[in-house]
Structure 1
């Protein structure tokens, strides 16, 4: 009999010869097997990751050796839970059980429980789950109720439908030994909802309509599951809430169960709660249930009022309309003199706060038809509630609810106009004290303190490897320079290099690779290679702009500069380290650093010096006098730079890109910006050509798809946000067009708003695209930027801004940031380049604190939108928002295009909303 050795066991395992390996293991004595156990564990631990594959995986065979040679369930489970040993579907279960039976193991059930507990929460495959299930079934052990085990059970049950002949899902559940144990947890664990709608073949094609609801309902109908228990669990799950997709299977199950009136009555209060706060499909289900109870005379008035109060605040118009009708029916059923009439009508008045002006007027009309039944006290309370109404509705409400007013006669003479309209509930203009004086107050927080020890530097480098940030980079670069002579620096940083070779060593180009070389240069470890291959002559004479294909490339070259120049001439500090987190440098601090260089007899490195100039803020006369005393060439250049005001504002000009099909029809349109230097002398920096000169192709493409960190990008030119916006425009424009898989976001916009410099056409376009972004987080970021920029009252003062606003139809002298955004919104929204529905959502949020700014945008956007050959989708929603914003800001005036639409006949929503807005503006 061959001796048990690692070589023999591993060879049979790699060959997947389970029969020979089982025979070898069972031929050995128990003592021999137990003696081989530690050898097996050591061999598996010593196997490198790359050695697991030699044409096949040995995991299945080594699992047989584990169950044969290890003494406890804990040790077997620990071994099978390691790396590649987790491939349990490769374990021949029959051989595994044969060996366990031959050993007479009393702990096989315990092993099954342990393996079941080790199943991953998310990525659990049915075959993996089945191996643990086999051990449990063989021994009768009860599994742990973990997310992984329940998820694996659901996946295995669904998969069993297609094992052999297609089987109804109800039969698959019925045949499962774990149905009664695990099904309740499907209702209790939100994270399992996605397992209830796997794609399945319905006989004609693949679908995601859940089969789970029908299967459970069938088991209920057959008596396999208790009806009351399932219905209660279903309603409880709906009450717990969550994403609509999570709740859909349970809403469908509720419909499949078709509760009786008695069953619905038992959950009436639950349906009232669902109607107020559940996702629309579930709220619709609840509303239908309450209607059945109401029609059957089984719905208490208090519950109907509770349901109405919640439903009338919802955005879904169909739900609000149906609830108003239900409340109206209730009033008509109540006898004369019933004190609850006032309460019901006051509940209906909750719709006065709805964002939809149509629904406000509908509520008022329904209350008008019932107003003769109001008590004086109820009429007074409704008068107070109607104060939120605007326009004609406010006039009608004043006439209806004012105690001394005569009864309202439909079609009668117009009444005196009501007072100025109010914004919807919760909309309050920001107080002047709430708007910061951005021209005086510092825009960004001070930079964090410098790194003080080699150990702290090592920690910051590790953090930078995992998450690059502008502040992190600047602190690491400053720390590396100032701590270069510190004791023990090499001993602390060398392990960091070895820990992250893929990021700091092995790549051929990039900031982190250059950082690795800078670390080795500062610690004297190895020769620098990658940084010396940079075409430095082309960098310093500006003959190769491609070395900076995006402004954040400046940081890459700065890191390479440290690595390349350290050995030849180290410096004690860097001039370009920011004093604030936005990347800016205080002028007094920069002059002090330059004076320190002159006193120490060293010269700053070129790119470090130029980045410092591009970041420095305005200087006071005292700082200018100090700078004038600098004597070196770099010092005199700094003094002249500060005296001249720094980098001249580049010229930003809108540039339209378009692509057409073979018939010449427009396929895609995008407006970006090009940049030209605003300098009229030859005193420019080396970096200027690459940063302030930007050309674009005539066709939209993927030329802007750069991977950049927004904070790193903005920190290159913190005093010239228009330049950064122009570079980033293709990416920001894509936010309104590309699919969900695109990884870009709008986090750059608030950063630019907090930077300084004129806001011109590029920043206007950037914010407009952000307001129309596909995803809500991007629209929120754009809204934050819009509010900051509108609070500044920044004028579009860049060269080219006047022609920009004039070309878009903006009135002369009105080229503020808000009106420029409006003009651009009208341009891009008219042809659908920017979707108005998304913009309306963003501006609605902004109107809560800045209705005047929102109205400024809309007053400029509406003329081109109303002139568009084809009415843009969601334009009525934008008009409705205009009525809110104009009312809250007490705007007046006439818009010719709006008057033309308001004068049309017909009852379309576009005409109705135009009449409302026009009526308010011109009354």
Structure 2
């Protein structure tokens, strides 16, 4: 063993340069082979040798770099992940050993190191040293810039380091070009502190190290690219510290306008301030001010909108001749969603109408038709008959089209196609229905594939088994489907069915192929248990080689619904072939039938003369069906086990479906972090009982309301429920109310879609939903601003009357009470004080007088003004009548709050509108 290899193995990194330098090319090549072998050996060293491992790796880096001759190979060795234990690099020893190489080679190595994104930041000291030895340009890749910032950024010496570092002139401009701002730049608490980055960079400019235009332009361009809040704050602080001159501000007028239009709120506010100063000094052209205003007036930040209107007013007072350029853009705010903005814009236009020509006057008058009716009197005063003639046409509610049922495609008739489908489900994990981590599986995939396996097994079991043999063999015992050895990921679902065709039971699956009766932990698991039980029942019959031509429960529609005549025909074929119906398969088929008595189909079923035909006939005549639902009619006591009976005490369902016969238990464990992958598949279990399903799945949405759910999608099932049949009862409206106020915007959007579909189908109960929403806000389980966002989104689609039907029911409980006023009567069956209270029945258009002067007013609920604004907007458009109880008293209480102003606007709209029926 050589002295060099001994030193490397022992980790004597300081000795390595002296041992490598005397070696010639042949000796270095020989040593390199030994070093590579040692490198492989070190990989196998255990953690008990971690200290020696670190020292040996450092020595390996130096020795290998010294023995290699090519620049690319040297860089690959230095940056190798297995050699960089702890990301350490022995910079001094490397520089000592490589210093004797050619300058061109050293520069090549430095630039190659700089191009390695994963290590360049840590290797900055080495890169700087090699570039210095090569006397070449310093690399300025983004990782190198970050390394420079870290190396130079000592707080108490930052200014001195920046002014004295030879790389500052090239590195500082790169700070503004980096995709991600180096983190140390953001570590400051006082932008006025000379020892922190903003003021230190200003000192660099003042000293002439970096030209001032480079710094100013860099800041402006970086703000235009937007970024994280901390990054934007830093560059705004730097601009403030630079104290821009008027010339510098004028030079970037187009940039300020772009920021005011599209940048984040703090940046837009800064740009608006700069442009305001330029406008008031006469340095901003009127057309540029108009372009800026057209964007700012429709930003969501009310502070920016108000400031812009104030600026326009100041400019118009100073230069009345600018009215021709500025008033048209002000008039665009007549269509703003905030009536306060509309009022400010109208008053501003009215003050300067004398400075416009007749053509512009007429154009402004036409735009006055966009104003809310609450401002119509003021508009008439300003424009006369021109604004009064801008009357809107008849209102038409716009709702999405009712979803058209999609028929279920038949099972694959081609054997190769079926085998391919089964294989795809098993290998992708989508067919592993029994765990939460499987990819989503659609109803059509599940039902068509399962029915296809049964049909082909009946037709030619040998051919099907041969086609599936390789698929089942590819699932080794050591690697269960869908997981990495965890027992929760045992093979379930379609692998069980496929193995049953071969007469086998796959490793890790339950020993029995009979339907499981395990107690579900939550509603989702209960629904999945039904799906798994159907798979196991089919697998059990296949394993026993029973004659089974097809399944009874395969739906005829993708929603999961099964047509009655189809089931009658299937039972007739079973009777002809002498096949016994699977208990669970037949029970699932019954539950999927459309609700309602069907005497003709009942007679056809009874004519079969079989027990299943008789039961189907009784079912179709209403036996066991209560209020259109098959489950959840009478809750058992807490200590009572489910009896597995249909409502009304008739024949028992199989055990997996008997769990569905019991209402959801609130004491179930919530599904924390559940990602809801199978909404449609769950819905297919009870396609005619969406309110019952809502009662089971409501916990998911309520968890999201409490911000318990860690993933999005807690409300996506609502749209599937809205598209299905069955009563839209209290549970569905309660879940919808929760979803409309959950924190996640994507879940609220899904709830809005469900609301609109329910309304389009005529299934939305505005009074019920409004009462639930009011209760959530009263209990503090939801925030009014989230509800406002949801309802405004729904109204913006054209469903103003639908949204008003909801708000009209919610407002009586959200308006603050007036002490001394007559107590509003409660409707029978309304909630207690701890629960949402349904609005009491009051005559439409009630304008009861407000209480006497001794009455006191309650506190205004946060966000009430925004809700009232949405309500007023809806009524002004749909012209629906019916004054909610308490609105007259609240609107008459006086004051300048937004809630009171919007209540007055709503009351005026209701009194001038018609009295139409709501959805």
Q: Does TM, scored on the shorter chain, surpass 0.5?
A: yes
User: CA offsets, 1:486-539, max 9 Å, x none?
Assistant: 545443554465896573572213475565565555567775444127995745
- How far does residue 774 in structure 1 lie from its aligned partner after superposition? 1.2
> Is 1:552 matched with 2:528?
yes
Write the mapping of 1:163-202 to structure 2, written as runs, cut at 5 A. 166-167=155-156, 169-170=158-159, 179-181=168-170, 183-189=172-178, 191-193=179-181, 195=183, 198-199=186-187
2:716 is aligned with 1:751? no
Query: Structure 1 residue aligned with 2:367, among 385, 389, 393?
Result: 385
SS state at 1:299 partner = coil
Alpha-carbon spacing, 1:404–1:565, altered in 2? closer, same or farther (3 Å)? closer
Measure how far apart 1:246 and its partner are: 5.0
Deviates more, 1:377-386 or 1:316-325: 316-325
Question: What is the rounded CA distance, in whole Å, between the counterparts of 1:642 and 1:40 in structure 2?
Answer: 83
Given that 1:710 and 1:747 are in contact with CA atoms closer than 8 Å, whether structure 2 keeps it comes out as no
Partner Cα separation in structure 2 for residue 33 and residue 142 of structure 1: 30
Unaligned runs of 5+ in 2: 431-436, 636-641, 818-857, 913-919
User: After the TM superposition, which of the residue ranges 473-482 and 350-359 deviates more from structure 2?
Assistant: 473-482
Aligned-residue offset at 1:159: 7.0
Match of 1:463 among 417, 422, 428: 428
Give the Cα–Cα distance (whole angstroms) in 1 for the partners of residues 14 and 102 of structure 2: 20
Are 1:705 and 1:731, in contact at CA under 8 Å, matched by a contact in 2? no
| 1:143, distance to aligned residue in structure 2 (A) | 7.6
Deviation at 1:175, TM superposition (A): 6.2
Which residue number corresponds to residue 358 of structure 1?
A: 340
2:510 is aligned to 531
Distance 1:516 1:74, change over 3 A: farther
Residue 761 (structure 2) pairs with residue 839 (structure 1) = no
Q: Secondary structure at the match of 2:782?
A: coil
Q: Does 1:818 align with 2:766?
A: yes
Q: Is the 8 A contact 1:356 1:880 kept in 2?
A: yes
Match of 1:771 in 2: 740
Q: Is 2:804 the counterpart of 1:855?
A: yes
- Contact 2:737–2:773, Cα closer than 8 Å, also in 1: yes
- 1:694 corresponds, among 663, 681, 687, to 663
1:315 corresponding residue in structure 2: 300
Q: Match of 1:470, SS?
A: coil
**1:206-225 to 2 correspondences below 5 Å:** 212-225=197-210
CA distance in 2, matches of 1:557, 1:382: 69
8 Å contact 1:829–1:872 — kept in the other structure? no
- Structure-1 separation of matches of 2:549 and 2:191: 75
Equivalent residues of 1:722, 1:762 under 8 A apart: yes
Deviations 1:529-574 (A, max 9, x none): 44127995745xxx88889844234334455666777644476766
Q: Which residue of 1 aligns with 2:218?
A: 233
Name whichever of 257-266 and 517-526 sits farther off.
Answer: 517-526
Offset at 1:859? 0.6
Q: Once superposed, what is the RMSD of the aligned Cα atoms?
A: 4.8
2:141 is the alignment partner of 1:154: no
Question: For each residue in 1:20-77, what CA deviation from the matched residue of structure 2 results, as whole angstroms up to 9, or x when unmatched?
Answer: 8878877987446545767876887899899788646565555456535656444555
Q: 2:647 aligns with which of 670, 679, 683?
A: 679
Give the C-alpha shift of residue 675 in structure 1.
Answer: 15
TM-score by length of structure 1 reads 0.77
Cα 1:476–1:249 change in 2 (3 A) is farther
The one of 881, 894, 910 aligned to 1:905? 894
Query: Against the structure 1 CA distance between its residues 743 and 299, is the aligned structure 2 distance closer, same or farther, given a 3 Å change threshold?
Result: closer
Deviation at 1:821, TM superposition (A): 1.2
Q: C-alpha distance in 1, partners of 2:446/2:79?
A: 39
Secondary structure of 1:735's aligned partner: helix
Report what 1:67 is aligned to: 65
Q: Would the aligned equivalents of 2:199 and 2:238 in 1 still touch at CA under 8 Å?
A: yes
Aligned to 1:344: 326
Superposition deviation, residue 769 in structure 1: 1.4
Q: Which residue of 2 aligns with 1:93?
A: 91
- Write the distance in 2 (CA, Å) between the matches of 1:225 and 1:262: 19
Give yes or no for contact 2:426–2:481 (8 Å, CA) kept in 1. no
- State the Cα distance separating 1:300 from its structure 2 match: 1.4
Counterpart of 2:880 in structure 1 is 891
CA contact (8 A) 1:611 1:716 kept: yes
Relative to structure 1, is the Cα distance of residues 332 and 818 closer, same or farther in structure 2, using a 3 angstrom cutoff?
same
Contact 2:191 / 2:237 at 8 angstroms: preserved in 1?
no
Q: Distance in 1 between matches of 2:342 and 2:392?
A: 13
The aligned counterpart of 1:669 is: none
Write the deviation string for residues 233-261 of structure 1: whole angstroms up to 9, x where unpaired. Answer: 32233334456555333333322222111
Name 1:506's counterpart in structure 2.
485
CA contact (8 A) 1:161 1:169 kept: yes
Q: SS of the counterpart of 1:332?
A: helix
Contact kept, 8 Å, 2:333 with 2:345, in 1: the verdict is: yes
Structure 2 equivalent of residue 725 of structure 1: 694
Give 3-state SS (helix, strand or coil) of 2:156's partner.
Answer: coil
State the secondary structure of the residue aligned to 1:452: helix
Aligned length: 840
- Contact 1:187–1:237 (Cα < 8 Å) also in 2: yes
Distance 1:563 1:71, change over 3 A: farther
Residues 102-134 of structure 1 deviation map (CA, whole Å, 9 limit, x = unaligned) = 8889756545544443424xxx79536666666
Cα distance in 2 for residues equivalent to 1:244 and 1:821: 38
Report matched runs for 1:312-461 at 5 Å: 312-334=297-319, 338=321, 340-402=322-384, 431=398, 435-438=400-403, 441-442=404-405, 452=417, 454=419, 457-461=422-426
Distance apart, 1:281 and its partner CA: 1.5
Match of 1:280 in 2: 265
Q: Give the conservation status (yes or no) of the 8 Å contact 1:552–1:713.
A: yes
- Who is 1:117 aligned against? 115
Equivalents in 2 of 1:578, 1:134: separation in Å?
A: 73
More displaced 10-residue stretch of structure 1: 107-116 or 857-866: 107-116
User: 2:288 aligns to what SS in structure 1?
Assistant: helix
Q: 1:708 to 1:28 in 2, by over 3 A?
A: farther
Contact 2:62 2:93 in 1 (8 A): yes
Residue equivalent to 1:783: 752
Task: Report the TM-score when normalising by structure 2.
Answer: 0.78
Does the CA-based 8 Å contact 1:736-1:773 persist in structure 2?
yes
In structure 1, what is the Cα distance between the partners aligned to 2:17 and 2:214?
48
Pairing of 1:595-744 with structure 2 (within 5 A): 607=584, 610-615=587-592, 644=622, 649=629, 679-686=647-654, 687-697=656-666, 702=670, 706=674, 708-711=676-679, 712-738=681-707
Q: CA deviation at 1:582?
A: 4.2
Match of 1:830 in 2: 778
